[in-house]
Amino acid sequence: MTAYPLADSALVDALGNALRAADFSSDGIDGLLGDQAGQALLNGTWWPALRATRRVPVDKQALATLVRLFLLGSTEPESEVDAAFAGVAVDALVDGEVLARDEDGIRALLDIRPHGSDDSDYLVVADQDASMRPGAVAHDHVLGIGGASMSLAQAVIRTPAARALDLGTGCGVQALHMNGHCGEIVATDTNPRALALAAATARLNGTAWDLREGSLFDPVEGESFDLIVSNPPFVVGTGAQDYIYRDSGIVGDGVSRQLIENAGTHLKPGGVAQLLANWIVYDEDEWDHRVRSWVEASGLDAWVVQRELADPISYISLWVSDAGESSADAARRGADWLDWFEREGIVGIGMGSVTLRKPVEDRSADVVIEEIAAAGQEVTGFEAQAWFSRRDFLRTTTDDGLLAARLRTSPVFLESQSLPGDDGWQQVGASVTRPGGPGAVLGVDEVLTALIAGCRGEVPLGALITLLAQFHGVDADALTEAAMPSVREAIGRGILFVVE
């Protein structure tokens, strides 16, 4: 039977006590490094942080040693490491595969770092990435906290859920975020090493999850959940499983398809599934073709947002460099991968988030698939929940109901685009934007601009449109018919809202 790191719960407890005694926390590390070195480390520049840890008072030496070990990949003298881990022997940490001895001293085998979020500070256990160790990562490498995992964590709707599933848990970061609003948490993975490190992550943070080994929905067959979250190994490839954290072993984009098409089977009515996915694009003008077919097959309400459309070379280069392979191995793997893309006729890979909801009532699914690539317009849990609420309102409210309602305008910007001409600047377009709202942009003309500005929650929409029609000398019924689609779009994007 294969032994995995931190299999001894007593050692995990002792390690946690030592880390807390040294103030190995987000606040503790921020205070140790200072703003500039800390920000540089977040941006991938490590040497200012190393310099900062060499210039600390005696009472911060233990924390400085831990930072160098776990965050900077440094090899440290055994005497300093022994002093840093109060109450736990270095030999025990070596036996537990947390640390390793080499001829220069002691180095870390695991990536253990604080993760501050939701007014909580967690400790997360993963494997060191390629930037922290020589050579390629292992086949069963367990990925730590990265950009993808954080974007998913930010996108998850945080309403209370009795039962939740973290499918493909990895180091357990999504399950950690679920702790604050979910009752029972089931976490699955195909990688036994990931489950071992997730168990250590859970114990270090004083919690426990129902950890199960298996692929896709196999470990939860016949079960249903209020919330499903998944950051799966979605990388599009030949079906080879070189690295478990990125390669599903399923050809092409099959893992994303199976998750989306089958999520509804494991959702309770009203339940939500949120995941990251990649999809193959054969024609850039129809980039949504495949993911749309999966969503429509699921029968679920859906909001799919493509954040990026990557060309094959950029996509392959990203994942080849991520594994830390030698230049020769990376070149060979990249060439073979690109050959496969060309044989398959793949022109790009769509990358984005998928939010699904199982309807409570018997009705057709409400599906929106769109591209929102702008910075600052990322999907958040608050926005995802509000998006569903607005869609429900629009679906169940008639135009007559809207005309009788009082609407208010959210904080927005009016932006215009003009071109120089013979008579000076000529406006060619204008739009209203709600800052921070994903896709919350609405093109407007002079009348719609006035309508939105007039929505102050004081008079019914119908009365406001009538006033505008009189001012512009147009028929009120005709203006109403022309304006209602834009009004609905503005409500759907959170630009307008109903005053209760």
pLDDT in tens, 365-411: 999 999 999 888 999 999 999 999 999 999 999 999 999 999 999 99
Region 30-46 average pLDDT: 90
Distance CA 201, CA 175 (A): 10
Please report the beta strands in 265-412, taking only residues with DSSP state E, as ranges in sequence order. Answer: 267-281, 301-310, 348-357, 367-371, 406-409
Name beta bridge partners: 304.
354, 369
Structure tokens at 212: 């199960």
The whole-number pLDDT of residue 346 equals 97
Name beta bridge partners: 275.
230, 354
The percent of residues in the chain predicted with pLDDT above 70, rounded, is: 99
The whole-number pLDDT of residue 142 equals 94
The percent of residues in the chain predicted with pLDDT above 90, rounded, is: 84
Q: Across the chain, what does the average pLDDT equal?
A: 93
Residue 136: band (very low, low, confident or very high) from pLDDT cuts 50, 70, 90: confident
Pairing of strands 413-421, 424-433: antiparallel
Is residue 99 scored above 60 in pLDDT? yes
pLDDT in tens, 145-173: 988 999 999 999 999 999 999 999 999 99
Structure tokens at 491: 């409500």
User: Which position has the higher pLDDT, 117 or 45?
Assistant: 45
Distances (CA, A) of 390 to 157, 441, 493: 15, 15, 8
Distance CA 2, CA 298 (A): 38
Q: Which long-range contacts (CB under 8 A, 24 or more apart) does 124-131 make?
A: 124/171, 124/172, 124/173, 124/176, 124/201, 125/5, 125/6, 125/171, 125/197, 125/200, 125/201, 125/204, 126/170, 126/171, 126/197, 127/193, 127/197, 128/73, 129/324, 130/322, 130/323, 130/324, 131/73, 131/324
pLDDT in tens, 174-225: 999 999 999 999 999 999 999 999 999 999 999 999 999 999 999 999 999 9
Is residue 96 scored above 70 in pLDDT? yes
DSSP symbol at 377: -
Residue 18: band (very low, low, confident or very high) from pLDDT cuts 50, 70, 90: very high
> What is the number of residues in the chain?
500
pLDDT in tens, 245-302: 999 999 999 999 999 999 999 999 999 999 999 999 999 999 999 999 999 999 999 9
The whole-number pLDDT of residue 118 equals 67
Distance CA 423, CA 43 (A): 48
The whole-number pLDDT of residue 482 equals 93
The predicted model scores a pTM of: 0.93
Residue 2: band (very low, low, confident or very high) from pLDDT cuts 50, 70, 90: low
Residue 373: helix, strand or coil by DSSP?
Answer: coil
Q: Which long-range contacts (CB under 8 A, 24 or more apart) does 51-55 make?
A: none
R_g (Cα) of the chain, nearest Å: 26
Distance CA 127, CA 179 (A): 22
Distances (CA, A) of 71 to 121, 413, 442, 448: 16, 42, 44, 53
pLDDT in tens, 406-456: 999 999 999 999 999 888 888 889 999 999 899 999 999 989 999 999 999
Residue 491: helix, strand or coil by DSSP?
Answer: helix
Residue 317: band (very low, low, confident or very high) from pLDDT cuts 50, 70, 90: very high
| Cβ burial, residue 76 (10 Å; 0-12/13-18/19+) | buried
The whole-number pLDDT of residue 134 equals 75
Is residue 120 scored above 90 in pLDDT? no
- H-helix segments, 239-288: 254-262
The whole-number pLDDT of residue 320 equals 87
pLDDT in tens, 347-374: 999 999 999 999 999 999 999 999 999 8
Distance CA 195, CA 175 (A): 12
Distance CA 63, CA 60 (A): 5
pLDDT in tens, 64-80: 999 999 999 999 999 99
Whether the CB-CB separation of 228 and 272 falls below 8 Å is answered with: yes
Distances (CA, A) of 24 to 70, 113, 116, 174, 199: 10, 8, 12, 21, 20
